Structure 1
Amino acid sequence: MANYFDYKIVTSSLIKAVKTLTGKPCIEANGTGEQPAYPFATFTITTPKIAIQQDDENAQFELTVSLTWHDESSLSVLNLAKQCESYFKSTEGRLLFAEKGVVIVDVTDFDRRDNFLSIEYERSAGFDIKMRVLDPHVDDVAPIEQIEFKNVIGGN
């Protein structure tokens, strides 16, 4: 087990869920790879760490992931966003992430996110998912078990 939280746990689960649910690809937003054919989803980890307790060993924290659908059709992106939003709010969707130690805390309502591309629009719609995870960090420093004090008042 890694000595830190691996964000691939979240992203691989998200990619798998979107592909299984819709049959469409889900890729990292603003990546350098080739864009898939429409429709497709993108994800961005918009807030990688929201502290909810002191950074101790095995501290919990939250993160926010944005999921956005892209297509040439407004109805297509609205339907795909609604389908995924409903899934991530469902028990089945939450269990998929719970199996990986990720708790879905909140799923926002989806909204339009259209982009103007030179002379036409790319239609997009999406929502955000807030998740809670456990950072398995363990400090490798040995604990101090005994402290010895010497009285050094007034000289040697």
Structure 2
Amino acid sequence: MTNDFDYTTVTSALIKAVKDGTGYPLIAGNSAGEPPPYPYCSYTITSPKIGIERDYEGALFELVVSLTWHGTSSVGVLNLAKKTESYLKSSQGRSLLEKQGIVVVSTMNFSQRDNFISIDYERTAGFDVQLRVRDTYVDDVEPIEEFKIGGTN
């Protein structure tokens, strides 16, 4: 069996969508290294596979990605989260993702997500986006060329 689905297709498309929609970077959440300067957005794939349908060309499934904006202003990160959500729902944002075989199903859980860091707060806000993709796996089995019924071909 070969598996053509790669989660980097989703993350790369989201990185481009966030950059196009806001002008700011999207990085992997909880990753090593120094984060970019504020404001920036991070993603975490919270539900990597929610099965919904199987057909002969693979399987449709959904995944949930949490997008969180980080900054120094509560209102600033709320505005960026809303701008991102609006872009993903817009025809331009949907078209960008659809070119990669990704469909926006819904957005949910829009909220402030502030973090207390040492003696100060990092202001965060974000939402979850549910996406639908196709796993285009193919079974590597030999096709049945002929079969016999009742002793005849």
Q: Shared fold (TM-score greater than 0.5)?
A: yes
- What CA deviation, in whole Å up to 9, does each residue of 1:1-25 have, x standing for no partner? x733111111111111111222211
1:113 match: 113
2:10 is aligned with what amino acid?
A: V
- C-alpha distance in 1, partners of 2:129/2:21? 16
SS across alignment from 2:45:
strand
Q: Cα deviations across residues 86-113 of structure 1 (Å, max 9, x unaligned)?
A: 1111121111111111111111252101
Q: Alpha-carbon deviations, 1:35-86, whole Å to 9, x = none?
A: 1111100001111100002486411000111110000110110110010111
Amino acid at match of 2:116: F
Tell me the residue number matched to 2:47.
Answer: 47
SS class of match (1:14): helix
Contact kept, 8 Å, 1:25 with 1:40, in 2: the verdict is yes
**Counterparts of 2:90 and 2:20, CA distance in 1:** 15
- The secondary structure found in structure 1 opposite 2:58 is coil
What is the 5 A alignment of 1:1-156?
Answer: 3-54=3-54, 57-108=57-108, 110-144=110-144
Letter in 2 for 1:72: T
CA distance in 1, matches of 2:57, 2:85: 33
Runs of 4+ in 1 over 6 A off after TM superposition: none
- Cα distance in 2, alignment partners of residues 54 and 13 from structure 1: 24
Query: Distance between the aligned counterparts of 2:100 and 2:57, measured in 1?
Result: 19
Task: Tell me how far apart the structure 1 counterparts of residues 144 and 65 of structure 2 sit (CA, whole Å).
Answer: 40
Q: Percent identity?
A: 58
Amino acid at match of 2:102: V
Specify the alignment match of 2:151 in structure 1: none
If each structure's strand is expressed as a fraction of its own residues, which one has the higher value? 2
Task: Please give the alpha-carbon distance, in whole angstroms, between the structure 1 residues aligned to 2:28 and 2:93.
Answer: 20
TM-score when normalising by structure 1: 0.87
Between the aligned partners of 1:56 and 1:76, the Cα distance in structure 2 is 47
Larger Rg: 1
